[in-house]
Amino acid sequence: MTALPSERLARLSWPRVVFVGLVVLFAVLTVPTLVDKHSWTGVTVTVAVTAILAYVYLTPKRIAARFLVPGTILLLAFQVYPIGYTIDTAFTNYGDGHRLSQSQAVAQIEADSVLEQPGAQRYELSVATKTADISGAFVFFLTDPNGKVERGDAAGLTPVPDSEVTKDQFTGKVITAAGWHILTGIQVNGLGQRLAAFEVPTGGGFIKSVGLSEAYVGQFTMKYDAAAKTMTDTRTGTVYKASDGEFKAVDGSGKTLPIGWKVGVGFKNFTSVLTNAAIRGPFLRVLVWTIAFAVLSVLSTFGLGLLLAVVMDHPRMRGRRLYSSLLLLPYAMPAFISTLVWASMYNKDFGLLNKLFGTHIDWLGSPWSARGSVLLTNLWLGFPYMFLVCAGLLQAVPQELKEVARVDGASPFRVFRSVTMPTVLIGAMPLLIASFGYNFNNFNVIRLLTDGAPYPSGSSTAGDTDILISYTYRLSFGGQGAQYGLASAISFLLFVLVGLISYAGFRQTRQLEEVYAR
Amino acid sequence: MKDRLWWRHLIGIASLVFALVPILFLVSAALNPVGTLSTTSLIPSGASFANFSKLFHDPNSPYVRWYVNTLVICGVSSVLNVLIGVSGAYAFSRLRFRGRRPGLTGILLVQMFPNFLALTALYLLFINIGSVLPAFGLNTSLGLIVVYLGGAMGVNTWLLKGYLDTIPVELDESARIDGATEAQVFFRIILPLARPMLVVVGLFSFVSFLNEIILAGVFLTGSAHKTLAVGLYGLVSGNHNTDYGEFAAGSLLAGIPVVLIYLYLQKYLVKGLTAGAVKG
């Protein structure tokens, strides 16, 4: 049966039409900007997303997709794409010293090598902009020792006739220029990095600023030979050859230039985790502590939670509701706050623990006390959750079964071990596995409490309380020598580990099968 | 057999002490007139609101802005998060379509990746997005919300699917026979029935966004754009002593509403927890 176009139109509900209309409007407004910026990926993505949304919401067939498409698009854009990028990075040497492409690296090395020629002239410098807004582009007004004025921008030098400028009578520095806005010393200072990076190309080199009111002529001391792929230091005559993402000296001294570029390295990041002793050592140490941390956190929180649930589970126990409300507080308190409070309670000089016990212990200072402190805090954060769960599960234990066991002469302990415990464990198992997975990657508690400290001597990237995720985070974003390639490889290993653990867990509890069955 | 109860209360009280000491300490620090960590003890030495007024008037820490930012970011993110999560869950629970099983597995698989380690990619992505759409770039609430929504079709979808599976199919089938469209079944029948679970999932996502410091820390760098977690962390990250009262006062104001909501929703929470929600 084919519907008439008018019938089809009548079946469209207006919220969907409005939604698609808004999306199309958004796309129409965005695409010109994207075209302006030559962002063809952006144009493709915008057009594709709009087309998919219009197709799904305006045609009658794709009912399931209507419920899934928005979430899927967001998932692809902000989770799958970044993950793909990270996995891609895992096969490169990307990181500090290897951030650029090769041509960018060559340009950077050359630019950094600009040195002032000995005995060359210096210029008096004024910096000027077209308008009063100093955030825009600026130019140099340069007065040479003979009083001749030139204007320099990124394209080169243009002579400026004396009639267009007024000059300081002693130094010759340009004070006003027709059509230009000369910046004050404070404004020039405010340009900061932009001023330092600004270069006016001349025939043999560059004019760069030195200080706020002087400029010099510099020349490259590094010369790149594109055919031979070599970089030559003209001062020493050393030749560097491009290989594996960096320039290596060919004289066999092993010297390399500090700026390299990003290249693919295959499985090197993965194998170095296993074979390079300097990486393997910390990695294995952190891995062992990660597993211990996750297991002990689950066991301690579950143990205390179960104990409390059993203690409260008595018909004549008074104040049960008050107890559970108060025990809920650590769970209800936003964890970032509680963790920071615990961090301050452990403080050696001012902390509450030392005050209460009259001690002077550096709780977070030595490896074992720091690990214990992390576990204690995590117990505090987690036990109310386990208490709530266990209390709920205890309600589900069939009373008749307990009765029967008691009548048969079983001791209270025996009833607990053989009747209560199995029922509770069956219910709690999936949650224990989920909790294990959660703690395995419990970044916040480590980051806010110790940030991995203390560090064993000789290791500045892997602390004694670091778990894999905080260690990886430091490799990527730790400030000193970011190693994105290696960090991405470890992220991928973490992904596989957590995946395997969860898979095993789900298999065991058969939860996956149940979900699929429906 | 006469069961004695005193030992039960003993254990109960001991655990209460353990549970409440840090919270009492936080209250005491917030009320401490001197406002430093070194002068704070467990029992408040005086009741002063000096820390609160300092908090509201310190130009370096625009606390009210942080609070508003947090409410907007966490509120919008968690509402949309639940909405996207439950519509995905509806499709997986009620509709039959190609790619359903791989879809479910795929969603779960993506969640196994510690996604904030993909921060570099997100950062670079949002530099580009910001150059075209400044409203969604770095240092904007919208940008962060959109990133948070990337995870909306994730664990929540599984959790909510499990809950929707417990709602009898006969209910929506009879509605369909009466001529209801799929959208009507979803909005008029399923959503109202799933409300308790939606509230729990919404609350948990709200709190997990509230606790999120990594993405928020990288995305929101301007002092006026920060969230409470990033801002309050900044107050104590360098020096634990001097601004401690301010931190405690700010934390207390941030924590009390959440605690009250938890207490109010206590009985729903237990249901949600046993269904497999782990507070992030």
Contact A242, A231 (CB under 8 A): yes
What's the structural domain count of chain A?
3
Question: What distance in Å separates residue B219's CA from the closest CA in chain A?
Answer: 14
Contact with chain A for residue B173, Cβ under 8 A:
no
* Per-residue pLDDT at B1: 44
* Per-residue pLDDT at B280: 40
Tens-digit pLDDT profile for residues A207-232? 888 878 888 888 788 888 888 888 88
In this predicted structure, the answer to whether residue A380 has a pLDDT above a threshold of 90 is yes
Contact with chain A for residue B215, Cβ under 8 A:
no
In this predicted structure, the answer to whether residue A193 has a pLDDT above a threshold of 70 is yes
Q: Which of B60, B20, B64, B54 is nearest to B34 (CA)?
A: B54
Question: What distance in Å separates residue B150's CA from the closest CA in chain A?
Answer: 5
Q: What is the mean pLDDT of chain A?
A: 86
Tens-digit pLDDT profile for residues A225-280? 888 888 888 888 888 888 888 888 888 787 888 888 888 888 989 998 888 888 88
User: Between the ranges A136-150, A238-252, A434-448, A504-518, where is the mean pLDDT highest?
Assistant: A434-448
Residue A316's closest chain B neighbor by CA? B5
* Per-residue pLDDT at B235: 85
Confirm whether A258 is domain-assigned. Answer: no
Contact A66, A57 (CB under 8 A): yes
Q: Do A476 and B117 touch (CB under 8 A)?
A: yes
Q: Do A388 and B269 touch (CB under 8 A)?
A: yes
Please report how many Cα atoms fall inside a 13 Å half-sphere around the Cα of residue A479, on the Cβ side. 2
Buried b (16+ CB within 10 A) or exposed e, B36-61: bbeebebebeeebebbbebbbeeeeb
Please identify which residue in the block is written with the tokens 């393997």. Answer: A280
Q: Do A488 and B107 touch (CB under 8 A)?
A: no
Among candidates A78, A327, A337 on the partner chain, residue whose Cβ is nearest the Cβ of B251: A337
Question: What distance in Å separates residue B49's CA from the closest CA in chain A?
Answer: 19
**Do A324 and A209 fall into the same domain?**
no
Contact B121, A86 (CB under 8 A): yes
Query: Which phi and psi (to 5°) does residue A207 adopt?
Result: -105, 125
Q: Do A82 and B273 touch (CB under 8 A)?
A: no
Q: Which of A158, A168, A160, A166 is nearest to A124 (CA)?
A: A168
Give the three-state DSSP class for A432: helix
Q: Do A308 and B117 touch (CB under 8 A)?
A: no
Amino acid (one-letter) located at A432: L
What is d(CA B18, CA B16) in angstroms, rounded to the nearest whole number? 5
Q: Do A304 and B93 touch (CB under 8 A)?
A: no
Query: Which phi and psi (to 5°) does residue A457 adopt?
Result: -60, 140
* Per-residue pLDDT at A511: 55
Cite the beta strand spans of A222-345 per DSSP E. 222-225, 230-233, 239-243, 246-249
Rg of the Cα trace of chain A? Answer: 34
* Per-residue pLDDT at A80: 92
Residues 6 or more apart whose Cβ sits within 8 Å of residue A330: A338, A380, A381, A383, A384, B19, B22, B23
Contact with chain A for residue B221, Cβ under 8 A:
no
pLDDT in tens, chain B (280 residues): 456 788 999 999 999 999 999 999 999 999 988 888 888 888 887 788 888 998 898 887 899 999 999 999 999 999 999 999 999 999 999 999 998 989 988 888 888 777 777 888 888 889 888 888 888 888 899 999 999 999 888 888 988 898 898 888 999 899 999 988 888 899 999 999 998 889 988 998 999 999 998 899 888 988 889 999 999 998 887 665 678 888 999 999 999 999 999 988 887 877 776 665 554 4
* A-to-B residue pairs, Cβ atoms closer than 8 angstroms: 282
Tens-digit pLDDT profile for residues A459-493? 778 899 999 989 988 888 776 678 888 888 988 88
Chain B interface test: which of A17, A38, A336 (most B C-beta within 10 Å): A336
Among candidates B41, B122, B263 on the partner chain, residue whose Cβ is nearest the Cβ of A328: B263
Contact A517, B100 (CB under 8 A): no
The whole-angstrom distance between residue A455's C-alpha and the CA centroid of its chain comes to: 22
Identify the domain containing residue A182 by its residue range. 114-219
**Do A351 and A427 fall into the same domain?**
yes
Confirm whether A264 is domain-assigned. Answer: no
Among the residue ranges A8-17, A51-60, B94-103, the one predicted with the least confidence is A8-17
Q: Do A334 and B229 touch (CB under 8 A)?
A: yes
**Do A64 and A126 fall into the same domain?**
no
Residue A388's closest chain B neighbor by CA? B270
Angle CA B147–B151–B157, to nearest 5: 150
What is the spatial order of strands in the sheet that A230-233 belongs to?
A222-225, A230-233, A239-243, A246-249
* Per-residue pLDDT at A466: 94
Chain B residues near residue A391 by CB distance under 8 angstroms = 270
Report residue A518's pLDDT band, with 50, 70 and 90 as the boundaries: very low
Tens-digit pLDDT profile for residues A84-137? 998 999 999 888 888 888 888 888 888 778 777 777 778 888 888 887 777 778
Question: What distance in Å separates residue A437's CA from the closest CA in chain B?
Answer: 9
Confirm whether A512 is domain-assigned. Answer: yes
In this predicted structure, the answer to whether residue A196 has a pLDDT above a threshold of 80 is no
Residue B168's closest chain A neighbor by CA? A518
**Do A159 and A57 fall into the same domain?**
no
Q: Do B113 and A68 touch (CB under 8 A)?
A: no
Amino acid (one-letter) located at A10: A
Tens-digit pLDDT profile for residues B262-277? 988 887 877 776 665 5
Rg of the Cα trace of chain B? Answer: 23
Buried b (16+ CB within 10 A) or exposed e, A80-99: bbbbebbbebbbbbbbebbb
* Per-residue pLDDT at B3: 61
Tens-digit pLDDT profile for residues B4-58? 788 999 999 999 999 999 999 999 999 988 888 888 888 887 788 888 998 898 8
Contact with chain A for residue B152, Cβ under 8 A:
yes
**Do A62 and A184 fall into the same domain?**
no
Amino acid (one-letter) located at B72: V
Q: Do A516 and B104 touch (CB under 8 A)?
A: yes
Give the three-state DSSP class for A205: strand
Amino acid (one-letter) located at A21: G
User: Was domain B60-274 assigned CATH 1.10.3720.10?
Assistant: yes
* Per-residue pLDDT at A76: 93
Question: Complex ipTM, two decimals?
Answer: 0.91
Q: Which of A219, A242, A264 is the last residue of a domain?
A: A219
Contact with chain A for residue B168, Cβ under 8 A:
no
Q: Where are the domains of chain B?
A: 1-48, 60-274
**Do A484 and A395 fall into the same domain?**
yes
Q: Do A389 and B273 touch (CB under 8 A)?
A: yes
Residue A504's CB is within 10 A of a number of other CB atoms, namely 11
Residue B18's closest chain A neighbor by CA? A380
Contact A498, B111 (CB under 8 A): no
In this predicted structure, the answer to whether residue A143 has a pLDDT above a threshold of 80 is yes
Contact A353, A343 (CB under 8 A): no
